[in-house]
Structure 1
Amino acid sequence: MINKILSNTALLVVDMQNGFLSESGGMSKLGFDSSLLQKAIPGCIKLVKVARESDTPVIFTKYLYEKDFRDGGMQVEEIFPGIKDVALCAKGSFDAEIIEDLRPANEEIIIEKNRPSSFYSTRLEAYLRSQKISNLVICGVTTNICVETTARDSAQRDFGTYVVSNAVAEVDDFRHETSLKALEHMFAKIVSVEDIQETWLKKNS
């Protein structure tokens, strides 16, 4: 059990969208195997369920670009122009929506972003501070891009940062494992779905 996250803690579900997880989404169109990212789904479902049962706030993020990708920056224009070609996560598209199995409840917060970090140019930090949240449990995709960048930014802001190893996923096993090792070295505690379930279920006992 992780006593520190019994209170003042939120679950952050990162970018669990059709664009990354659906076989007809943009990532699949770019040639990536979406089934590798789908490995995060069961763990995320369990975490959202136990968070709701224990009255732990759940926050979702959505990676979104303008339809013409004018906000894509170097990532879209130079590093990975294929994103624009397949309209990955364009606003208003199928890609942009959170998968059906993780549909946010009406009262749950959705943070929209157009960069890997869930903190960069978003209202996330202001919301966390306003709710007196000091710890974040992070799940979602992809491990070494949006999850890792968010976790690093969380740690830099002195939030207790917990990354759930069996509820995050990457399209490459080496990058997944390397990312978790890098985070564990300085930025986050690496935990399991079972660790979180055991802890949050204690809140109701």
Structure 2
Amino acid sequence: MPRTITLPCRPEPLDVVIEETALVIVDMQNAYLSKGGYIDLVGFDVSGAAPVIAETARIADACRAAGIPVVYLQNGFSPDQREAPPTAPVWHKSNALKFMRANDAYAGKLITHGTWDYDIVPELTPHAGDIVVPKARYSGFAGTALDQVLAARRIRTLLVCGVATNVCVESTIRDAYHREFFPVMLADATMAAGPGAQAATEFNVETFFGWVSGGAELRAALRANQG
């Protein structure tokens, strides 16, 4: 028998079938969360990272215990930047690529495969059985195998957390919605880049693209199912 929980959400509760649900952890890398990482270097505030990391770890552990697949998205480029030629918009819009071009000392060091900046933060190192999906665009669905990973497991609901709320998290949620998934943003396990951006994305998600909940609400709903 499928196991169903009712997850408290905005704008209304959502019935979630556990066997049809996956957790998607977006770009929880040194680049976006650590002092000296790319986001910090280009001037965004990362002082709020610690509670977001801690909450994401609690959510991931609860999902693993419930049998919910944990999927990590990991954003970055090959050392030769083959994914981002000058003919691509990302060459012009990626702050990391622009910073590296302007600062020779950082060339090849930011969100580049094999570097510290690209690594997932140690507190969230993937466990055996977790899935890691590399990407080179904001959305986890753009040019990746994420669709196939989810379809193979017959997933319909996506629990989404990570960074940055208003960039890669929101882009992934929007694309999930357009692919007929039910996306739930776990807001206390996200962090925005830029003032006012967190509230704007939460408004967009709960009004247009999905649902907004939190880690404590998810864990309570999962515990109630176990009882």
2:91 alignment partner in structure 1: 76
1:144 to partner: Cα distance: 0.5
2:121 alignment partner in structure 1: 99
1:39 and 1:82 map into 2 onto residues whose CA distance is 27
Query: Which string of whole-angstrom CA distances, capped at 9 and with x for unpartnered residues, describes residues 59-108 of structure 1?
Result: 10100111133423323335631155443210110011111111101211
Q: 1:136 to 1:69 in 2, by over 3 A?
A: same
1:173 to partner: Cα distance: 3.8
- For the Cα contact (< 8 Å) 2:174–2:209, is it kept in 1? yes
> Bigger radius of gyration, 1 or 2?
2
Q: Which amino acid letter does the alignment assign opposite residue 69 of structure 1?
A: Q
Does 1:33 find its partner at 2:48? no
> Partner of 2:114: helix, strand, or coil?
coil
Unaligned runs of 5+ in 1: none
- For the Cα contact (< 8 Å) 1:6–1:199, is it kept in 2? no
Alignment partner for residue 168 of structure 1, among 170, 173, 190?
190
1:186 alignment partner in structure 2: 208
How many residue pairs end up in the alignment? 205
2:119 and 2:159 map into 1 onto residues whose CA distance is 22
- For the Cα contact (< 8 Å) 2:166–2:193, is it kept in 1? no
2:69 and 2:154 map into 1 onto residues whose CA distance is 11
> Partner of 1:35: helix, strand, or coil?
coil
Unaligned runs of 5+ in 2: 1-5, 8-14
1:106 and 1:194 map into 2 onto residues whose CA distance is 24
> Partner of 2:188: helix, strand, or coil?
strand
Query: Which string of whole-angstrom CA distances, capped at 9 and with x for unpartnered residues, describes residues 27-78 of structure 1?
Result: 2222222223444212211100111111111010100111133423323335
Does 1:195 find its partner at 2:217? yes
> Partner of 2:16: helix, strand, or coil?
helix
1:5 and 1:137 map into 2 onto residues whose CA distance is 12
1:129 to partner: Cα distance: 0.8
1:23 alignment partner in structure 2: 35
> Partner of 2:57: helix, strand, or coil?
helix
1:65 alignment partner in structure 2: 77
- For the Cα contact (< 8 Å) 2:44–2:194, is it kept in 1? no
1:22 to partner: Cα distance: 1.2
Does 1:12 find its partner at 2:24? yes
Give the alignment's TM-score, normalised by structure 1: 0.93
2:67 and 2:194 map into 1 onto residues whose CA distance is 34
Sequence identity percentage? 26
Q: 1:197 to 1:123 in 2, by over 3 A?
A: same
> Partner of 2:43: helix, strand, or coil?
coil
Give the alignment's TM-score, normalised by structure 2: 0.84
Q: Which amino acid letter does the alignment assign opposite residue 6 of structure 1?
A: I
